[in-house]
C-alpha cells in the first residue's frame, strides 16, 4: 500500500514529465514571479503555463512549503499545541493512544492545523480548538447525537465531530466510533 507521501511524489513526477520542468524549476520560477499567495500562483500557472488545476495546485503548495521551511528538529504535532493550546496536550496524547490501539496500519499525516488519520483512506482527524480537541470522523451510516455531532458546519470531509474537552472524554464510546471509522477505511 502506497503512503500519502509516495502518492504526492508520484504526482510531482507526473507533473515534471507532463510539463517538462523539474519541481525545483517550478519553485524557482514562482519565486522569481514575486507571487506569494496560493490562489494567485495557481491562476498564474494555469493561465501563463497551461497547467491543469490539480497540477497548478500541487506545484503551488510545494513552492509555498519550500519558501517557509520548518525549523530543524521541529515536531508537526507539537506545532499544533502552542500558546494556550498547550494545555490540550494531555487530551492529544490520550487520543493518540486510542488511535495507536486501532492497528499497525494507521498513518498519521500532519496537515496545517490538524492531523489526518488514514488507513487505506482517511477515516478521522484530530484538530485542536481553543478549549477542546475536535475529532472528525467518517461514519456515513451513523445518526448524529448530542455527542456525535454532525460535521456539516465543521469540515465537509467528515460526517461527524466529537468535541473532546477532557481526557475522561476518551472513553469506550469514542474509542468505538474511532474503531468503526477505522474499519470502514480498510
The sheet that has 160-164: what strands, in order across it?
107-111, 114-118, 122-128, 133-137, 160-164, 149-150
Alpha helices in 38-185 (DSSP H): 38-49, 53-67, 76-79, 89-100, 172-184
pTM: 0.62
Question: Cα 85 to the chain's mean position, in Å?
Answer: 18
The pLDDT tens digits for 145-180 are 999 999 988 888 899 999 999 999 999 999 999 999
pLDDT at 134 over 90: yes
- Residue 45: what pLDDT? 95
Per-domain residue ranges of the chain: 4-67, 76-184
More confident residue, 172 or 71: 172
Amino acid at each position: 500500500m502506497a503512503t500519502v507521501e509516495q502518492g504526492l511524489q508520484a504526482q510531482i513526477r507526473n507533473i515534471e514529465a507532463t510539463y517538462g520542468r523539474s519541481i525545483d524549476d517550478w519553485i524557482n520560477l514562482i519565486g522569481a514571479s514575486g507571487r506569494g499567495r496560493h490562489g494567485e500562483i495557481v491562476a498564474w500557472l494555469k493561465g501563463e503555463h497551461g497547467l491543469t488545476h490539480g497540477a497548478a495546485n500541487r506545484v503551488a503548495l510545494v513552492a509555498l512549503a519550500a519558501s517557509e521551511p520548518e525549523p530543524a528538529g521541529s515536531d508537526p504535532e507539537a506545532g499544533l499545541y502552542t500558546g494556550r493550546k498547550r494545555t490540550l496536550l494531555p487530551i492529544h496524547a490520550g487520543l493518540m493512544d486510542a488511535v495507536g490501539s486501532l492497528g499497525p496500519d494507521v498513518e498519521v499525516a500532519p496537515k496545517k492545523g490538524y492531523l489526518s488519520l488514514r488507513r487505506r483512506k482517511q477515516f478521522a482527524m484530530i484538530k485542536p480548538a481553543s478549549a477542546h480537541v475536535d475529532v472528525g470522523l467518517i461514519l456515513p451510516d451513523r445518526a448524529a447525537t448530542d455527542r456525535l455531532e454532525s460535521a456539516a458546519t465543521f469540515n465537509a470531509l467528515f460526517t461527524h465531530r466529537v468535541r473532546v474537552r477532557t481526557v475522561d472524554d476518551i472513553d469506550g464510546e469514542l474509542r468505538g466510533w474511532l474503531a468503526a471509522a477505522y474499519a470502514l477505511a480498510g
